[in-house]
Structure 1
Amino acid sequence: MKKLILTFAFVAVAQLGFAQEDPAFKADVLKVVQRSSGAQIEGAKKQILGMIPEDKQTAFLVEFDALIAKANEATAKIYMEEYTKEDVKAMLAFYNSPVGKKMDEKAAAITTKSQEAMGELQGEIQEVIGKYAQ
């Protein structure tokens, strides 16, 4: 029984290590991460840029883009732990489908509209929280 458990543990660790070292898998995962959040991040970046003085925007973008790259790397690591190569291939196929492309096209507008809707509800949400938090 101990040998079986040790064998299983070794195989699981070896698989995880292999998945993390597979550059093609990582590249696909990074594509999924970019496709799933890229338009929303771009929309947020445009909104934030409006708050930054023009003479500082270039420097801001360098730092902001570096942070986004770090966030994408961290997210990719999590995806590689949670999803199989087949899962990721299926996600990419979806994002390359007509509906997936439509989601990409509309993501920034939907994010903006969602933020506006939540802004309108924020007072009500705070009221409910205040009512029950005491």
Structure 2
Amino acid sequence: MKKITAVIAFLLIGFAGFSQTDYKQKTIDLITITSGPQFDVVIQPFVDMVPEQNREALKKDLKASMVDLYDKLAVVYMESYTEEDVDAILAFYETPVGKKMISETPEITKKSMQIGQMWGMQLQPLIAKYSE
């Protein structure tokens, strides 16, 4: 009887672990879909800092570093979104408007960063006023 109970417990733990792994992978897929297109836009200023002959190698290394980052971010997402939430969000990104959102996000990010930089420059006199 103890053996049967132990086997059942082992199987349940195994299935729970598999489910958690699947959930985490789906969450990583979500992060990849939502953050991946923006990645090139965000890293471009860093890439521009290195000599041109090293830029592709830097991009490759930066992209490789994303695996660990996405794994850590998945834990954060999983604190806020259930597996059902992740499934629903992934389903949205399969719709025409979801696909459009993904394709348009890099350009929106680029323009938003430019606006944010200009806004930050406009804030400098205001911050200086209150720093005295």
**Category of TM-score, reference length = shorter chain:** 0.7 to 0.9
Distance 2:118 2:43 in 1: 22
1:95 deviates by: 1.3
| RMSD, matched Cα | 2.2
TM-score by length of 2: 0.75
3-state DSSP class of the match of 2:34? Answer: helix
The code of the aligned residue for 2:104 comes to: K
Distance 1:76 1:19 in 2: 16
- Do the aligned residues in 2 keep the contact of 1:32 with 1:88 (CA within 8 Å)? yes
1:53 equivalent to 2:46? Answer: no
2:70 counterpart residue number: 72
1:118 deviates by: 1.7
The code of the aligned residue for 2:22 comes to: A
Distance 1:105 1:84 in 2: 26
1:105 deviates by: 0.7
The code of the aligned residue for 1:119 comes to: Q
Residues 62-71 or 28-37, more deviating: 62-71
User: Any stretches of 5+ residues in structure 1 without a counterpart?
Assistant: 1-17
2:86 counterpart residue number: 88
- Do the aligned residues in 1 keep the contact of 2:93 with 2:99 (CA within 8 Å)? yes
Flag the 1:29–1:120 CA change in 2: closer, same or farther, 3 A: same
User: Any stretches of 5+ residues in structure 2 without a counterpart?
Assistant: 1-15
Q: Identity of aligned pairs, percent? A: 32
2:96 counterpart residue number: 98
Distance 1:47 1:100 in 2: 27
- Do the aligned residues in 2 keep the contact of 1:43 with 1:108 (CA within 8 Å)? yes
1:36 counterpart residue number: 34
Aligned counterpart in structure 2 of residue 128 of structure 1, from 123, 126, 129 = 126
1:60 deviates by: 1.4
